[in-house]
Amino acid sequence: MRPKVDCFIITFDTTSHAIAMEKYCKEHQIKGRLIPVPATISAGCGICWKMTEEDYMSNQSQIQKIDYKEIHYIKL
């Protein structure tokens, strides 16, 4: 079994919102990447932004400016 690690997952209303997030993070040098939404968060398609705990904690205030749906702290 692949070992699981703690991470932050940010979800969005639409895929376009997720792409806007990726662009925003790139412009602000915030690390992370787009991944398919895990079924434990929402079953059936969609993409979300995955970040390490460290990256999330150090960029929390900037992330709050983004139009996101939910933030989850899970093991993936």
Interacting residues with other proteins (CB under 8 A): 13-20, 22-23, 34-36, 42-47
Least Å distance, CB 67 to other proteins, is 8
CB closer to other proteins, 36 vs 57: 36
Output the DSSP codes for the chain.
-PPP-EEEEEE-SSHHHHHHHHHHHHHTT---EEEEPPTTT-SS--EEEEEEHHHHHHTHHHHTTS--SEEEEEE-
CB closer to other proteins, 58 vs 70: 70
Least Å distance, CB 38 to other proteins, is 11
Least Å distance, CB 50 to other proteins, is 9
